[in-house]
Amino acid sequence: MREPRLTSAELEASRWIARLEAADVTLEDHQRFRAWLEAAPENRPAYQAVAASFDRLDKLKLLTPKPATSLPRPTLSRRALFVGGAGAAAVAGAGALGLWTLTPATTFAATYETPIGGRQHATLSDGSGIELNADTRLRAAFTGQARTLHLERGEALFTVAADPRPFIVRTRFGALTAQGTVFLVKLTGAAARVSVLAGHVTGEHAASASGQASVHQELVLSAHGVAQHNLSAERTSQRLAWRTHMLAFDGETLAEAAADVEAQTGIRFRFADPAIAALRVGGYIDARDARAFITLLETNLGLSARRQGDGSILLDT
């Protein structure tokens, strides 16, 4: 019997699978992939068919006996996160969400989480892309009516695919609804900051206040409500510096800057006085180099840094 030959769309889908699984996959790769996905009606079904075949091969690999001392931790591939349909979504939800309860209306569900110093790219079932910064946790649950994501901590860049359903990102400070948008959301202890790179984002505060930002603008949702600020090209570049393992500070409080360094390095900072935590900082450092951050503080702010018995760094005058 002759083996079935792949169509040209399936061959191209195979190339996309290889690229999306590569360690150096970029946000631009995801954008080009989504453009290809919508370029012809046969592309999406071809991708789903080829991805499903790859997933079956992955499952066969997991059937190979392993020593009891080296059982692999279950993981979810980028392909499994994309393949649509209720059956595939149920598998993705069970593998990624643990005890997270899904409703019968759920068509896609997954949890994404990065460790200290980590980063992750993923493609959602609608073709939207997400890029997670270090120490970030995000849950996705899509239904026929809405595409909803819950950002529990950290920072994520969203590139929203065209779809009649609203794209909603929920945070503890309120909800964000995107329209044809590329936007960055960062959670801190005091606020959710939304930087809009394309399109529009509407912010609905937990206290019913609302606001809207378009390209070159930011929204900040906090206990004070919703505030809007302009976003310069230079500030936009600073906001995205983490994508190249850099951190840029331009007026952030020392507490906010220290939290960014902690997410990248795991080193905790403590403050001898609350006034120190409120100091404003500026500078540009390698996100993986805590020593460079300490040098910045010693040189620019005249602070001393002393390592404590628990491994944290105490900052004092």
Please give the average per-residue pLDDT across 75-93, as a whole number: 36
Task: Kindly list the domain boundaries of the chain, sorted by start residue.
Answer: 8-234, 245-316
Quick: pLDDT tens for 226-257: 999 999 988 898 999 999 889 988 888 999 99
Angle at 211 between CA 207 and CA 212, to 5 degrees: 150
pTM here is 0.68
Q: With contact defined as beta carbons under 8 Å apart, do 249 and 241 qualify?
A: no
Quick: pLDDT tens for 42-59: 888 888 777 666 544 443
Look at 15 and 29; give whichever has higher pLDDT: 15
pLDDT band at 85 (very low <50, low <70, confident <90, very high): very low
Q: What is the pLDDT of residue 9?
A: 84
Q: Is the pLDDT of residue 155 over 90?
A: yes
Q: 177-190 burial, b if ≥16 CB within 10 A, otherwise e?
A: bbeebbbbbbbbee
pLDDT band at 27 (very low <50, low <70, confident <90, very high): low
Q: How far apart (Å, rounded) are the C-alpha atoms in residues 136 and 157?
A: 11
Ranges of H-type helices in 193-272: 233-239, 254-265
DSSP-based helix, strand, coil % in the chain, nearest 5? 35, 35, 35
The three-class DSSP label of residue 97 is: helix
Please give the average per-residue pLDDT across 151-168, as a whole number: 95
pLDDT band at 208 (very low <50, low <70, confident <90, very high): low
Q: How far apart (Å, rounded) are the C-alpha atoms in residues 298 and 309?
A: 21
Task: Output the CATH code of domain 245-316.
Answer: 3.55.50.30
Mean pLDDT, rounded, of the chain: 80
Task: Output the CATH code of domain 8-234.
Answer: 2.60.120.1440
Strands 246-253 and 280-286: antiparallel
Look at 38 and 103; give whichever has higher pLDDT: 38
Q: What is the pLDDT of residue 266?
A: 92
